[in-house]
Amino acid sequence: MRALVVVALVVAGCGNPLVTAYAVRQGAAASLADVKDAFVKADDAQQKAIVDEGPDRAGVEVKLTRYREHVQAPIKQAIDDTTAALAAADTAIETAKSAKDAGMVAALGTLWARVGLLVSAIKLTGLDIPLPSFTPAPAAPPSGK
Amino acid sequence: MEELIAGFMLAVGKVLVNVVQAENASKEDAARLHEESAAITTAALARLFRLDAEIDANNAAAEEAADKKFGPLEQGPAK
């Protein structure tokens, strides 16, 4: 579904790739931030559950450490990596001087797919992270060529 | 005949005016979309850059809750 939205945006923005780039960038940014917030919330709940269920202090520490190494750290790394990709795309858009410079649209499509994959990966860990809702962009204006 | 030519010229003029207006509107829309997109992205990045601090806070809260429930670890938290 998200891929279709991206494709539709790219098609709609054919006359002005920069406008498409704006839409994809803001959609990916807002969704990734929502994913991050949901992860932080789920992470907190997960650690609290470990403490609640733990048999003793040493046992809880072992479980917390295992959780942090095998679940928390990889997800945090994935979010950090995607954030870096987003920041790079943001810089590319801000420095683009014309629609011809906006070849980053494809890269933004990849970024968007990455956000989706990240959510899927988090869901596979059993943490209940909701899928991001894409913020629909306003219709692309007619080409200003 | 002259009226016909005048009417035709008037129609062409109107079309040209519409085209110019469309061009200007397009640029204004693009500029507005750019501003909106940049603002949303900047705000999202600010939220994302807080991840380290928020995870650290979660870890600290869990350690504190465990200490409260079971007493402190004799050798400190596992690294």
Q: How far is CA A66 from the centre of its chain?
A: 25
pLDDT at B7: 65
Burial of B39 (0-12, 13-18, 19+ CB in 10 A): exposed
- Determine if the pTM surpasses 0.80: no
DSSP state of B77: S
Q: How many CB atoms lie within 10 A of CB A45?
A: 13
Chain A residues with beta carbon closer than 8 angstroms to that of B73: 57-58, 61
Residues A17 and A29: their CA atoms lie apart, in Å, by 18
Q: Do B45 and A48 touch (CB under 8 A)?
A: no
Q: Do B61 and A44 touch (CB under 8 A)?
A: yes
Burial of A120 (0-12, 13-18, 19+ CB in 10 A): exposed
**Nearest residue on chain B to A96, judged by CA atoms?**
B34
For each successive 10 residues of chain A (145 residues), what is the average pLDDT? Answer: 48 61 81 88 93 92 93 90 85 73 64 74 69 47 47
| Identity of the residue in A18, A79, A142 whose CB atom sits nearest the CB atom of B51 | A79
Chain B residues with beta carbon closer than 8 angstroms to that of A64: 59, 62-63, 66, 78
Low-confidence ranges of chain B (pLDDT < 70): 1-25, 75-79
- A67 near A47, Cβ under 8 Å? yes
pLDDT at A2: 47
| Span B48-68, pLDDT tens digits | 999 999 999 999 999 999 999
Beta strands in A8-125 (DSSP E): none
Q: How far is CA A128 from the centre of its chain?
A: 15
Q: Is A90 on the interface with B (CB under 8 A)?
A: yes
SS3 of B51, please? helix
Neighbouring residues of A55: CB distance < 8 A, sequence distance ≥ 6:
none
pLDDT at A6: 47
Residue A108 identity (one-letter amino acid): L
- A22 near A93, Cβ under 8 Å? yes
pLDDT at A16: 67
Q: How many helices (H) and strands (E) does chain A have?
A: 5, 0
Look at the block and give the residue holding tokens 């003029």. Answer: B13
Q: Do A64 and B62 touch (CB under 8 A)?
A: yes
Query: Residue B72: left if φ>0, alpha if ψ -120 to 50, beta else—which one?
Result: beta
Length of chain A: 145
What DSSP string describes A49-80?
HHHHH-SSHHHHHHHHHHHIIIIIHHHHHHHH
**Nearest residue on chain B to A82, judged by CA atoms?**
B48
Using alpha carbons, select from A15, A40, A121 the residue that is nearest to residue B61: A40
Residues A113 and A119: their CA atoms lie apart, in Å, by 10
